[in-house]
Amino acid sequence: MQAIWGGDIAPALKRLKGMGRPVAGCFPLYPPQELLHSMGISPVLMWGLGGGSSELVLADKRVQNFVCAVGRRLSQLVLWDSGQNLDALFACNACDTVRNLPEILEAGVGEQGTKMRWFSLHVPAIPMQEPTIKAYFANNIKQCIRELEALAPRPYSADNFLQSAALYNEWRSLGRQLDIASGKGGLPFERLVRFALEAAFTPVEESLAAGKALLKDCAPKPAPKNAVPVILSGIMPPPPAFLKVMEESGLFVCGNDLAPLWRTWARSPQPADAPEFYADFYSNHFPCSTLLPTADARPEALLGLARERGARAIVFIGEKFCEYEYFEFPYLEKFFQGQGLATLLLEFGVDDLANVAQHATRIEAFAESLAQ
Give the interface with ligand SF4 as residue ranges (CB under 6 A). Answer: 28, 68, 70-71, 94-95, 97-98, 235, 290, 319, 322, 324
Q: Which is nearer to ligand SF4, 264 or 290 (CB)?
A: 290
**Residues, the chain:** 372
For CA atoms 103, 106, 112, 114, give the dihedral sign.
Answer: negative
Q: What angle do CA 70, 195, 84 make, to 5 degrees?
A: 55
* Residues 224 and 39 sit within 8 Å (Cβ to Cβ): no
- CB 45 to ligand SF4: min, Å: 12
Of 9, 30, 23, 8, residue with least CA distance to 261? 30
CB of 296 to ligand SF4, least distance (A): 18
> Least CB distance from residue 93 to ligand SF4, whole Å?
10
Point out which residues pair with 7 in neighbouring strands.
Answer: 3
d(CA 255, CA 327): 23
Q: Which one, 268 or 289, has the nearer CB to ligand SF4?
A: 289
- Whole-number Å distance between alpha carbons of 227 and 134: 47
In the complex, the smallest distance separating the C-beta of residue 50 from ligand SF4, rounded to whole angstroms, is 15
The rounded distance, in Å, linking the Cα atoms of 306 and 335 is 13
Considering beta carbons, is residue 28 or 239 the nearer one to ligand SF4?
A: 28
Closer by beta carbon to ligand SF4, 94 or else 363: 94
- What is the SS3 assignment for 279? helix
Least distance in Å: CB of 350 to ligand SF4? 11
Report which of 319, 340, 334 is spatially closest to residue 98, judged by C-alpha positions. Answer: 319
Alpha-carbon span 184 to 293, nearest angstrom? 32
Smallest gap from residue 98 Cβ to ligand SF4 (A): 5
Q: Report the residue number, 249 or 264, with the smaller CB distance to ligand SF4.
A: 264
Which residue lies nearer to ligand SF4 by CB, 13 or 70? 70
Cis amide bond preceding 292, omega within 30: no
In the complex, what is the shortest distance from the CB of residue 112 to ligand SF4, in angstroms, rounded to a whole number? 23
Q: CA 241 from chain center: how many Å?
A: 20
Which H or E run contains 150? none
CA distance 57 to 171: 35
Contact yes or no for 144/26 (Cβ under 8 A): no
Measured in whole angstroms, the distance separating CA 87 from the mean position of its chain's CA atoms is 21
Distance CA 361, CA 171 (A): 37
**Residue nearest to ligand SF4 as judged by C-beta position:** 322
Report the nearest approach of ligand SF4 to the CB of residue 364 (Å).
26
Residue whose CB is less far from ligand SF4, 179 or 325: 325
**Nearest-approach distance from CB 60 to ligand SF4, in angstroms:** 16
Question: Between residues 200 and 311, which has the closer beta carbon with respect to ligand SF4?
Answer: 200
Task: Please say whether the beta carbons of 13 and 44 come within 8 A.
Answer: yes
Nearer to ligand SF4 by C-beta: 89 or 187?
89
Cβ proximity to ligand SF4, 24 vs 98, nearer residue: 98
Maximum CA extent, the chain: 62
Instruction: Please report how close the Cβ of residue 230 comes to ligand SF4 at its closest, in angstroms.
Output: 22
